[in-house]
Structure 1
Amino acid sequence: MGDKSKLANVYLFVVFLVLYAPILYLMYYSFNSGGTMHGFEGFTLEWYMEVFQDTRLIIIVINTLVIALLSAAIATIIGIMGALAIERMQRRRVKNTLLSLNNVLIVNPDVIIGASFLILFTIVGIKLGFVSVLLSHIAFSIPITVLMILPRLQEMSPTLVDAALDLGASRRDVLTKVILPFIKPGIFSGFFMALTYSLDDFAVTFFVTGSGYSTLSVEIYSRARQGVALSINALSTLIFLFTVLLVIGYYFINRRYNQVSMHKADRMKESAADLGVPQ
């Protein structure tokens, strides 16, 4: 067991090294005053200042954040409705078919999705730009939110809904006061996953952006094609740090919610014990 444990630790170390070494290399040279990635000549914040002084880049960052937040929020709302609809399906064959179609959209290559949206928007007459990017991001984020919400929904006991209905709760009260609070961790997970996918997406966005509209992924690709510039390193470092903050924020929100849930469960057990209900 000891040898297997050491081998597993070595394997994990190698995996994380391969994943994070290029990012750390990029971050390291974002502070290089030499202007190249071949030799570190001295520490400087010049490239970060260049990023913050680039008005066009700031607008693109705002565009990216607006698209990510809007698409994640809308996709999460639609994902909740989709997960509820799938869970309430009585026919197992229909339910499995819907789940399979949902999963196919997740594993489908982004190039095919992007090309399909480009053809669709061209036929319908939607101008490429903010609307086309937003619609496409909502579309590929919905299957992700459904996949994150559905397992939590399946964990909920049907007796909770039956008990609420027996106590006189309306369908709306059951949804807002029983179901949604129970699946809240899945909702947060779906939202943050959709937000991350939207910020990270390049292939689909590349197909559906117009000439006057761009996002960070497309902009970084365009600038990288012109040659290595350390301002790209600085911008990529800032994006990476922002993503880390999102992950940390999600961790603390989830941890706080679990603590509150455990506290409520303990109080319910104490109340039941006071009433003489067997545990």
Structure 2
Amino acid sequence: MRNNNRFSNVYLVLVFAVLYAPIFYLMYYSFNSGGTMHGFEGFTLDYYREVIHDTRLMIIVINTLVIALLSSAIATIIAIVGALAIQRIRDRRAKNALLSLNNVLIVSPDVIIGASFLILFTIVGIKLGFTSVLLSHVAFSVPIAVLMILPHLQDMSPTLTDAARDLGASRRDVLTKVILPIIKPGIFSGFFMALTYSLDDFAVTFFVTGNGYSTLSVEIYSRARQGVSLSINALSTMIFLFTIMLVVGYYFLNRRKARPNVAEPVADLGVPR
């Protein structure tokens, strides 16, 4: 048993080393005054200052955040409606067909999805830019959010909604006061998964961005094609550290919420606090 645990730990360390070594290599050379990624000549923060003072890059960062937040919110709302509709379907074949169609969009290659959106927007007459990027991000985020929300709906006991109706609750009250609070973890999971996919997407966005509008992934790709610039390293380092801060903050918030409230059982017993 000890040998197996030791092998598992070594394997886990190797996996994380392979995943994080390129990121730390990129971060290390973002402070290189030599301007290359071959030999570290000295420490400098010039590339970070260059990123901060690059007005165009800051506008692109804002565009990326706006697209990600807006598309994730819209996709989550659509996914809630879709998950409720799928859950209420009684015909097993129809339900499985809808779930299969939903899953196909997730496993389809991004290049095919991006090219399809490009053809669609060209035929319909939608100008490539903010609208086309937003619509495409909403489209590929909805199936992800549905998969996050649907299991919580399936785990919910139908007797809860029946009891609410028997007590005189309207359909709106059942939705807002019974169903949505129960599936809230799935809603947040779907939103943040959609947010992650939107921030991370390159292939689909590359097809549907027009002249004068860009997102961070497309901009980094365009700059990388022109040659190695350590400003890209600095920008990537800032994004990575910001992501780490969000993850750590989310972890501590969850720990704080998970702490048992000792005073509550006392109150339930009628003992004053």
TM range (shorter): over 0.9
| Deviates further, 129-138 or 232-241 | 232-241
- Specify the alignment match of 1:223 in structure 2: 223
User: Take 2:184 and 2:33, find their aligned partners in 1: how far apart are those partners?
Assistant: 47
Scaled by the length of structure 1, what TM-score is found?
Answer: 0.91
- Specify the alignment match of 2:63 in structure 1: 63
Q: CA deviation at 1:101?
A: 0.8
Structure 1 residues 76 and 234: CA distance shift in structure 2, 3 A: same
Instruction: In structure 2, give the amino acid aligned to 1:13.
Output: V
Aligned 8 A contact 1:192 1:250 in 2: no
Aligned 8 A contact 1:202 1:218 in 2: yes
User: Take 1:191 and 1:70, find their aligned partners in 2: how far apart are those partners?
Assistant: 10
1:244 and 2:244 are equivalent in the alignment: yes
- Specify the alignment match of 1:277 in structure 2: none
The one-character-per-residue Cα deviations of 1:14-37 (angstroms, maximum 9, x if unpaired) are: 111111000011011111111111
Q: Number of aligned residue pairs: give it.
A: 269
User: Take 1:254 and 1:80, find their aligned partners in 2: how far apart are those partners?
Assistant: 23
- Specify the alignment match of 1:101 in structure 2: 101
Instruction: In structure 2, give the amino acid aligned to 1:108.
Output: S
Alignment of 1:55-204 (within 5 A): 55-204=55-204
Instruction: In structure 2, give the amino acid aligned to 1:212.
Output: G
Instruction: In structure 1, give the amino acid aligned to 2:228.
Output: V
Q: CA deviation at 1:250?
A: 3.8
- Specify the alignment match of 2:15 in structure 1: 15
Instruction: In structure 2, give the amino acid aligned to 1:169.
Output: A
Q: CA deviation at 1:162?
A: 1.1
Aligned 8 A contact 1:64 1:216 in 2: yes
Q: CA deviation at 1:245?
A: 2.9
Q: CA deviation at 1:242?
A: 2.3
RMSD: 1.9
The one-character-per-residue Cα deviations of 1:62-101 (angstroms, maximum 9, x if unpaired) are: 1000000000000010111111111111111111111111
Scaled by the length of structure 2, what TM-score is found?
Answer: 0.93
The one-character-per-residue Cα deviations of 1:27-66 (angstroms, maximum 9, x if unpaired) are: 1111111111111122211100000110100110010000
- Specify the alignment match of 2:209 in structure 1: 209
- Specify the alignment match of 1:51 in structure 2: 51
SS for the counterpart of 1:78 is helix
User: Take 2:206 and 2:198, find their aligned partners in 1: how far apart are those partners?
Assistant: 12
| Deviates further, 213-222 or 41-50 | 41-50
SS for the counterpart of 2:44 is coil
User: Take 1:258 and 1:180, find their aligned partners in 2: how far apart are those partners?
Assistant: 21
Q: CA deviation at 1:248?
A: 3.2
Instruction: In structure 1, give the amino acid aligned to 2:142.
Output: I
Residue segments in structure 1 that go unaligned for 5+ positions in a row? 275-279
Q: Percent identity?
A: 79
Q: CA deviation at 1:255?
A: 4.7
User: Take 1:251 and 1:120, find their aligned partners in 2: how far apart are those partners?
Assistant: 41
Instruction: In structure 1, give the amino acid aligned to 2:64.
Output: T
User: Take 2:154 and 2:256, find their aligned partners in 1: how far apart are those partners?
Assistant: 22
Instruction: In structure 2, give the amino acid aligned to 1:89.
Output: I
Q: CA deviation at 1:247?
A: 2.8
Q: CA deviation at 1:243?
A: 2.3
